[in-house]
Amino acid sequence: MEFIKLTEQFEKHVALIELNRPKELNALNLQLMQELRDTLKQLDNNTEVRAIIITGNEQAFAAGADIKQMANKTAIDMLLIDQFSTWDQIRKTRKPIIAAVSGFALGGGCELAMTCDMIIASETAKFGQPEIKIGVMPGAGGTQRLTKAIGKAKAMELVLTGRFLSAEEAKSYGLVNKVVPVEMYMFEATQLAKEIAAMSPIATMLAKEAVNRSFETFLDEGLHFERKNFYLAFASEDQKEGMAAFVEKRKPDFKGK
């Protein structure tokens, strides 16, 4: 892999993916996205991994899709390449993904962070959908996920002006879980990943799926889906272990079975 660095055992049960095109501020070219898709698929199938962190570097999480790669494409080129279809794998990843964001998270970079399940940001993080400034618009979920995350008025403003949001603003709007000094964002993301990785991976997977369902369906169907997943958790040994540990006043040891 050329543009992705993978550390499968970054911490116990936690994998780290680093976007690695630093000179181009991690602009998301086709190869990087394919590598990211394949890596996530591999991690989803690795039973040792229970939580995934995606990060860039201090300067940039990702400054968007690779403009140079797209500049001369026709609509039919774009249709045939269908580069956004690789994004479906990110959405379909069943394990929890934390975006650890510092510096620029713009365009496709902001969309990538929003496709993750949670965002830990450094104080220097800047979020935005500046596509309008180069004559296009968000194409990998920006109009949908940003609107669901921060509401119509603010999303419309950001998408139509291309203005950047500071980390603090992004947090006050509910886009980001936590903002910390730049020296701390990887530590915070790792702590969060470790905390989640200590839970039953089966319950985690079922819970993630149910929360995501709330974005895709009406309340009645969502509640039905949630209940089914709750019942399904009782098929796991982890449920027996978790509840027995509570009764016996000890820490549970979840095996992912």
Options 106, 114, 116, 158; binder of ligand CO8; rule CB under 6 A: 106
Active site residue 233: no
Active site residue 242: no
Residue number with CB closer to ligand CO8 (13 or 126): 126
Active site residue 131: yes
27 contacts ligand CO8 (rule: CB under 6 A): yes
Active site residue 65: yes
67 contacts ligand CO8 (rule: CB under 6 A): yes
Residue number with CB closer to ligand CO8 (130 or 252): 130
Could you write out the three-class secondary structure of the chain? CCCEEEEEEEECCEEEEEECCHHHCCCECHHHHHHHHHHHHHHHCCCCCCEEEEECCCCEEECCECHHHHCCCCHHHHHHHCHHHHHHHHHHCCCCEEEEECCEEECHHHHHHHHCCEEEEECCCEEECHHHHHCCCCCCCHHHHHHHHHCHHHHHHHHHHCCCEEHHHHHHCCCCCEEECHHHHHHHHHHHHHHHHCCCHHHHHHHHHHHHHCCCCCHHHHHHHHHHHHHHHCCCHHHHHHHHHHHCCCCCCCCCC
Per CB under 6 A, which region of 128-136, 174-182, 190-198, 245-253 contacts ligand CO8? 128-136
64 contacts ligand CO8 (rule: CB under 6 A): yes
Catalytic residue, chosen from 100, 131, 140, 167, is 131
Residue number with CB closer to ligand CO8 (64 or 252): 64
Options 18, 35, 131, 188; binder of ligand CO8; rule CB under 6 A: 131
CA proximity to 4, closest of 25, 24, 18:
18
78 contacts ligand CO8 (rule: CB under 6 A): no
Report the nearest approach of ligand CO8 to the CB of residue 248 (Å). 50
Report the nearest approach of ligand CO8 to the CB of residue 143 (Å). 11
Which residues are tagged catalytic?
Answer: 65, 108, 111, 131
Q: Which residues bind ligand CO8 (CB under 6 A)?
A: 24-25, 27-28, 33, 63-68, 83-84, 104, 106-108, 111, 130-131, 134, 138-140
